[in-house]
Amino acid sequence: MSLHAQTIHELHKKLKKKEITATEITEDVFKRIESVEDKLHSYVHLCRDHALEAAKAADKIIQTKKDFSPLTGIPMGLKDIFLTKGRPTTCASRILEGYIPPYSATSASKLFEHNIVLTGKLNMDEFAMGSSTETSVYGPTRNPWNLDYIPGGSSGGSATAVAAGECIAALGTDTGGSIRQPASHCGIVGLKPTYGRVSRYGVIAFASSLDQVGPIAKDVTDCALILQAIAGWDPKDSTSLNLPVPDYNKALNPTIKGLKIGIPEEYFVEGMDPEVTHAVKTAIETYKKLGAHCEPVSLPHTEYAVATYYIIAPAEASSNLSRYDGVRYGYRNQQSKDLIETYKKTRTEGFGNEVKRRIMLGTYVLSAGYYDAYYLKAQKVRTLIRKDFEKAFKTFDVLITPCSPTPAFKIGEKTSDPLQMYLSDIFTINVNLAGLPGMVLPCGLSSKGLPIGLQIIGPHFGEEKILQAGFAFEQATDWHTKRPPL
């Protein structure tokens, strides 16, 4: 198997045995990028020379040290939402064109400390606002399983690159499903940790109370390895929690006999693709065979998730994006005669339509007279949603649901109706609202050859539980070994 198609843990074994070098892996990855990138358009910025230098440095460590991090010498891509010092970071927006940050995100710095090889910055929906990577100012990324289809969003570039072997693994962010849904649509594994588990410092903010950083990789083990490196308290992020980081490796245990799995009734709805329902139900049977106890559970406020999210997230985003005013960095319309015109033209020309839509939505729901009816109301419903999960986790260890009501749809299919696009997030959004950890892994392929994903939801700081449940499923199936026919 080519190096670019292997996992972190497989490559690490070989690096340790000195069977291969980091430079060889990197060169293979870049060869792969050269051959498929034109079709996929996963990257917005490639740094081949820097990557080869980093690979060389990693090789030195591998040669001289007996023990080194499993991430050493591994080519990884970062969603272009992570600030990388000295390297362009644009959030796939015109308003940050040419922006070179003076510092790196904490999570990225941690990976650099583990001597990864940065391959480049990956495409995304503009300011992470979207579920299809179609709102990027650079144009869409294509699903490697079928180039006419979306890869999911907003971390579409990350998911595509990992699935297609254009990097071994990647980091993405998840606000309403943006790691999990693209992982599902691309047939790989994506993990959104508990809110506060990983630092948000240096991650361009979309919705501050919902954003989380997480790994996108080929299997559960790889996700665990990446999570181990990036998790932990950051004094620069007031919302990161000062709790010890467990050894996630210990969770990679295939025995889940007695594991109590809840199957939320509200996640099997009318209008879902029957192939999705079938794939997920089959997966549940697999869990039963492995000795887990699977029972139905009710999360009665599920149907209010989208409405709640589309008040809270745009509200926070409208405020977070006010700093993009052309004064201190980024794009500025230089032809304006006064300040207000500068603001308006800069922001109008700099932001795409979906971003503008959400800014206006957010501005509206926070404006005088509407705060109680919308924002405050949504925060209260959020409490109800949170309580649903708390109740469920009194009885169950994890919950299993589909990730998306349908597999990937065609590029352009939902762009004219924003509301339809929002409704496709129905299964992932609640997890962000409650701040819980969630992981998606492949559990089937549709008749059109498009991947179907399974979502495992855990209680707060229950990453070990979901990793264990995911690992066990992988050991009993082979969906995670399938690669797109590119």
Partner 1 sequence: MKLSPEEVQKIAHLARLELKEGEVEVFSSQLSSILTYIEKLNQLNTEGIEPTAHAMEVPTPFRKDEVKQEISKESSLINAPHREGDYFKVPKVIG
Partner 2 sequence: MTDFIPTIGLEVHAQLLTKTKLFCGCPTTFGKPPNDNTCPVCLGLPGALPVLNRQAVEFAIKAGLATHGRIAHKSVFARKNYFYPDLPKGYQISQYELPLILGGHVDIVTSKGHKKIGLERIHMEEDAGKSLHEHPETRATNATWVDLNRACVPLIEIVSKPDMESTEEAVIYLKTLRAILVYLEINDGNLEEGSLRCDANISVRPIHQKELGTRAELKNINSFKNIEKALTYEINRQITRIREGQKVIQETRLWNSEKNITESMRGKEEAHDYRYFPDPDLLPLIVDDEWINKIRGCLPELPAVKQTRFMNQYKLPEYDASLLIQSQSLADFFEACVRLYNEPKKISNWIMTELLRELKNRDIEIHQSKIDTKLFTKLLQIINQGTISTNAGKEVFSKMMESGEDPEKIVQDLGLAQVSDTDSLELLINEVLKNHPDEFERLKKGDGKLMGFFVGQIMKASKGKANPKLLNELIAKKLK
CB of 238 vs partner 2, minimal distance in Å: 5
Q: How far apart are CA 477 and CA 217, in angstroms?
A: 17
Please report whether residue 83 would count as binding partner 1 according to CB under 8 A: no
Place of tokens 């794939």: 279
Q: How far apart are CA 293 and CA 68, in angstroms?
A: 39
Residue closer to partner 2 (CB basis): 47 or 91: 91
CB 55 within 8 A of CB 26: yes
Contacting residue, 235, 246, 254, 412, with partner 2 by CB under 8 A: 235
Please report whether residue 200 would count as binding partner 2 according to CB under 8 A: yes
DSSP 8-state class, residue 115: T
Q: How far apart are CA 253 and CA 469, in angstroms?
A: 8
**345 in active site:** no
Contacting residue, 311, 398, 466, 472, with partner 1 by CB under 8 A: 311
Please report whether residue 316 would count as binding partner 2 according to CB under 8 A: yes
Please report whether residue 469 would count as binding partner 2 according to CB under 8 A: no
**410 in active site:** no
Contacting residue, 99, 112, 268, 304, with partner 2 by CB under 8 A: 99
Residue closer to partner 2 (CB basis): 321 or 472: 321
Residue closer to partner 2 (CB basis): 268 or 370: 370
> Which x/- pattern over 374-393 shows residues binding partner 2 (rule: CB under 8 A)?
-x------------------
End-to-end CA distance of the chain: 14
The catalytically annotated residue of 42, 69, 79, 132 is 79
Residue closer to partner 1 (CB basis): 128 or 311: 311
Q: Which of residues 229-258 bind partner 1 (CB under 8 A)?
A: 235, 238-239, 241-242
Return the structure tokens found at 97.
Answer: 């064109």
The catalytically annotated residue of 42, 107, 136, 178 is 178
Peptide bond into 154 cis (omega under 30): yes
Please report whether residue 415 would count as binding partner 1 according to CB under 8 A: no
- Which residue spans within 89-235 are E strands per DSSP? 117-122, 169-174, 189-192, 212-217
How far is the CA of 118 from the CAs of 74, 171, 434, in angstroms? 8, 11, 32
Interface segment toward partner 1; rule CB under 8 A; list 51-59, 244-252, 379-387, 390-398? 379-387
For residue 133, the SS3 value is coil
Q: Report which of 102, 182, 93, 179 is spatially closest to residue 141, judged by C-alpha positions.
A: 182
Contacting residue, 13, 50, 386, 391, with partner 1 by CB under 8 A: 386
DSSP 8-state class, residue 307: H
CB 185 within 8 A of CB 222: no
**319 in active site:** no
Interface with partner 2 (CB under 8 A): 83, 89, 91, 96, 99, 101-103, 105, 200-205, 207-209, 235-239, 315-316, 318-319, 321-325, 327-329, 339, 343, 363, 366-368, 371, 375
